[in-house]
Amino acid sequence: MEKRFVSRVDYNYMPFKKRNSLRRHICELPVVNVPDQGEQSEQSEKLDEKGHPLRNDLCAYETPSVAELQSFLLADRRPTGHVNQVWPDVYIGNEVAARDKPMLYNMGITHIVNGASGPPHVNTGPRFYRDMNIDYYGVEADDSSDFTISVFFYGVARFIRAALSKKGRVFVHCLMGVSRSATLVLAFLMICEELTLMEAIKATRQHRDICPNPGFLNQLRHLDMTLVRERKRKLEAYQS
């Protein structure tokens, strides 16, 4: 019989649709410009060099300001548990969940990103999980507006993408599961799932209350502007 540990923490498991269905659902929410059905059909036929569809709806998109992002994040806040699934096989949580190995085992977690790694913060690391089949990625980040967390965006995104490509489940955490871990997951969604910053925030907030600090939001804005500018350039090149 399969061994199951008893966990002290409950976690929220949310059924998810395929990525394209998720994107359509996210885009039905306010603020984001949504192409009509005809435009979506045309868009699905335009692929970039990675096989991703070129998005006509980006033409009118502008990255929100930090103040606009904060206003959205602070509206309709609600209690958040220790861990929530925010994207297919991607979870965000706090230190309590990170230290609950029985729960992680029962969830089927295979990869962990610690966004608050190191002795001053959540000092777990590979040795803490040595009795589990876990791949660990540590990010020694401070939850401070002047901390440059953007240097970890692409490394973490590649780690998560590689885990998902192997049918793994990824748990991304920090101390509270609100700022650092959320920032890293938002960057992953923007880089690998090609969501805009607002789409990524909306997708995540459907399942967990998050609130990256203003400095992190500003770094996400710069990432968003860079990615959107590149995707607009590809769309213009395709249409020319």
- Catalytic residues, by residue number, are 174
Q: Which H or E element spans position 84?
A: strand 83-87
Q: How far is it, in rounded angstroms, from Cα 142 to Cα 123?
A: 13
Q: How far is it, in rounded angstroms, from Cα 180 to Cα 143?
A: 6
β-bridge pairing 83-87 and 135-138: unpaired
Q: How far is it, in rounded angstroms, from Cα 132 to Cα 10?
A: 20
DSSP string spanning 180-228? HHHHHHHHHHHHHS---HHHHHHHHHTTS-----HHHHHHHHHHHHHHH
Residue 31 DSSP symbol: S
At 156, list the tokens: 């973490």
Residue 58 DSSP symbol: G
At 47, list the tokens: 């692929």
Closest C-alpha among 203, 237, 182, 183 to residue 32? 203
At 133, list the tokens: 């089949």
Distance between alpha carbon 81 and the CA centroid of its chain, in Å? 17
